[in-house]
Amino acid sequence: MTRHRTQVCIIGSGPSGLLLGQLLHNAGIDAVILDRVGREYILARIRAGVLETGTADLLETAGVGERMRREGLVHDGFEIAHGDALHRIDLKTLTGGRTVLVYGQTEVTRDLMDKRAASGATTIYDAGDVEPHDFEGSSPFVTYVKDGVSHRVDCDFIAGCDGFHGVSRSSVPDRAISTFEKVYPFGWLGVLTDRPPIRDELVYASHPHGFALCSMRSATRSRYYIQCDVNDRVENWSDDQFWAELRQRLPVKIAENLKTGPSIEKSIAPLRSFVSEPMRFGRMFTVGDAAHIVPPTGAKGLNLAASDVHYLFDGLREYYAETSSAGIDAYSGRALARVWNGIRFSWSMTRMLHRFPDDDPFDQRIQATELGHMLSSKNAQASLAENYVGLPY
């Protein structure tokens, strides 16, 4: 078995692992990133990309903001469709000038991968049997197998950035962790197409048939979603059936502007809210989807991962620069406070805009009243906007 020494071993090369790795590298802190799959597999995954101001600023700090600022689409607001009415939530006005940036998560990942490669920092792809060890003691290490050879990485700390199904959280003893979960009784059927978006800003639609979302990846590539049964299958939906159902859920005045085309990618995503606590286990930290999942309503997944990175990087930088463990000791509490706000916001948007199959007439009236209040109250819209652009770190 070969042995290697680093300061921080990061498991997972998604955006959170890569962002943390780049920030550490820029600060002169050595970090190795391990991933069980290859670069091209990771880049083939299609993910949303509505970036809060804090996330965009953190990417700038990491040195990967140039293409994002050039190609990303600044959105001052978004729209909510209810019946045949369209209501605009003016983010910029309601939050005193704050906006969001539409830039695909795949592009964020690509930028971070390219930056890391140019920096000469170590990333090991296709690493099999990755496993963290002794993280509750003073000498943690990670083992993996590459090309038939066993390797060991000794380190000061382990950062588990390996997603919901990753090995980091599953390596924690049951006695040391608490989980909270809500599984929603529906999914999102999503279609990606090379057609201009229906509107310049995102449209969230509430309709008796179910929720719909009109979003985009660029000025020429659109991403559309409709709420579907949790047990539905992609094979049940032709492109024509999808477009017909989407049109039905949108106000007539914008449905007629929908430019349809063949789907590049079509998939069904189940919806869940999930949090595991704490986010620190001795010398191992969980980050992003390894610790929490949100429904895509409200676009908080990537942004919560970025705020985790912010808090963990601050703590590690303080540890190495000032030999103080105050920041890493505070990491779990600081991260979870923001995570639960994101969980609450995503849940509230999901509850307000979707059709729940088990709702009785009382539930339906409450939902309609909640949506109506939000659309008629500037104070309610200001709260929605504040959470949508992202609470401060």
Question: What b/e string do you get for 139-157 counting C-beta neighbours within 10 Å, with b at 16 or more?
Answer: ebbbbbebeeeebebebbb
Residues forming beta bridges with residue 243, ordered by sequence position: none
Residue 41 CB neighbours (<10 A): 12
Q: Rounded CA gap, 385 and 50, in Å?
A: 14
Question: Virtual CA dihedral for 294, 295, 301, 307, nearest 10 degrees?
Answer: -40
**Residue 377, C-beta contacts closer than 8 angstroms, at least 6 positions apart:** none
Structure tokens at 342: 């994101």
In the annotation, is 300 catalytic?
Answer: yes
Catalytic residue among 82, 140, 296, 310: 296
> From the candidates 115, 151, 207, 300, which is the catalytic residue?
300
The phi, psi pair for 82, rounded to 5°, reads -140, 115
Nearest 5°: the CA angle 162, 142, 302 is 15
Selection from 274, 309, 298, 307 nearest residue 387 by Cα: 298
CA dist., res. 42 & res. 110, Å (int): 9
Does the active-site annotation cover 320? Answer: no
Catalytic residue among 75, 115, 151, 292: 75
Number of residues written out for the chain: 393
Tell me which of 144, 184, 204, 311 is the catalytic residue.
204
The answer to whether residue 207 is catalytic is: no
Question: Is 388 tagged catalytic?
Answer: yes
Which contacts of 205-209 are long-range, i.e. CB under 8 A and separated by 24 or more positions? 205/80, 205/81, 205/82, 205/249, 205/250, 205/251, 205/353, 206/80, 206/81, 206/82, 206/352, 206/353, 206/354, 206/371, 207/81, 207/248, 207/249, 207/250, 207/355, 208/355, 209/245, 209/248, 209/249, 209/355
- Residues designated catalytic: 75, 204, 296, 300, 388
